[in-house]
A and B are shown apart, each in its own frame.
Chain A
């Protein structure tokens, strides 16, 4: 974790790497589990959800960072909710208009981005303390981090559960897909194993660094 802090100035590359790798909101900070489990049945859904979350994170971080000196401390959570809900409504309407099939397959999970803990966490811990440009970069970085985590889980589930990747069959005719992986069971199991792998790797790296 190399966030270079020089006189309250945050290095943009550090912010970017933190969001995507070192402090990945899903795999390291363990936030925003609901959409990860619910929308990871196919890689296509995962990309759609990732783009929607990144969009909301980017704009809500910018607006919250711009308003950070105006919003009173006591009602900040309510103010964040309104700002986030506004952008969620925008992306909901855009998806309904231009990608109706994706919108219907994500269903209720698009409006549920409002209560996604990642967006709250970034608003509270980053955007409300930093300038506009670092906040925008942080929004993009965390969005990409979220999309990567979601794509890993959904790629595993799609390959094992359906034998396809982005709709293309990758195994021969004789492949028997394990439909179980597409059920809720598979979501919990895959995410559990992915996070265990991440913990294993970070543990190994941490030990290597200490020697």
Chain B
């Protein structure tokens, strides 16, 4: 139990995917103009990250490693993610239309979100021997992504009403706001958990 809590803390706060590992920046900057769309994006990313980590970890451990195909990992993983995103999209459209309505438009974007490929590769490289931990890590990393993108979209909604010098309008000020958010999150680095 202690391991699970410390994995969650690490993935959500200290090693936040967006703000300390720089993964998923495109989605982070692109889909964060409104809070409700960023919640949708965050949920979709969490969902795909968890399922694709489960599948790719099993493929890596039981197919790629025993048969010495590790050099094909990048190709296999990106294919698996692309197929999974398609499958999830079809499944949701058929079986859970309400969830599909909420996540649908974000799903195709997720194939090229580096946070998803990043978490699968990191987990395949890690030395976890139990399938439980990688899946929990991926889920928590998705939650961390959601936390970061929702906080950031709140900042951006406020930024719209600010009088910003002209060269800084748009992207640069968003990056500087992200810098301040990253500084706040780097405060968690000193967090020492008692387990």
Contact = CB atoms under 8 A, between A and B. Distances in A.
Interface string B10-35: 00000000011111111001000000
B74 A85 contact: yes
Interface residues of B, number: 45
Contacts of A78: 82
Contacts of B72: 89
Contacts of A187: 22, 179, 182
Contacts of B73: 111
A195 interface: yes
A180 B186 CA distance: 10
Q: Is the interface of B mostly helix, strand, loop or mixed?
A: helix
A117 B20 contact: no
Contacts, number: 121
Q: Is the interface of A mostly helix, strand, loop or mixed?
A: helix
A124 B113 CA distance: 17
A31 B112 CA distance: 13
A86 B79 CA distance: 11
Contacts of B171: 30, 192, 195
Contacts of B183: 180, 183, 185
A114 B186 CA distance: 28
A185 B184 CA distance: 9
Contacts of B74: 85, 88-89, 92, 111, 114
A48 to B, nearest CB: 16
A192 B173 contact: yes
Contacts of B172: 192-193, 195-196, 199
Interface of B: 19-26, 29, 71-75, 77-79, 82, 111-114, 117-118, 121-122, 125, 166-176, 178-180, 182-183, 185-186
12 contacts: A33-B26, A34-B25, A81-B111, A82-B75, A108-B122, A111-B117, A184-B185, A184-B186, A188-B178, A192-B171, A192-B175, A193-B172
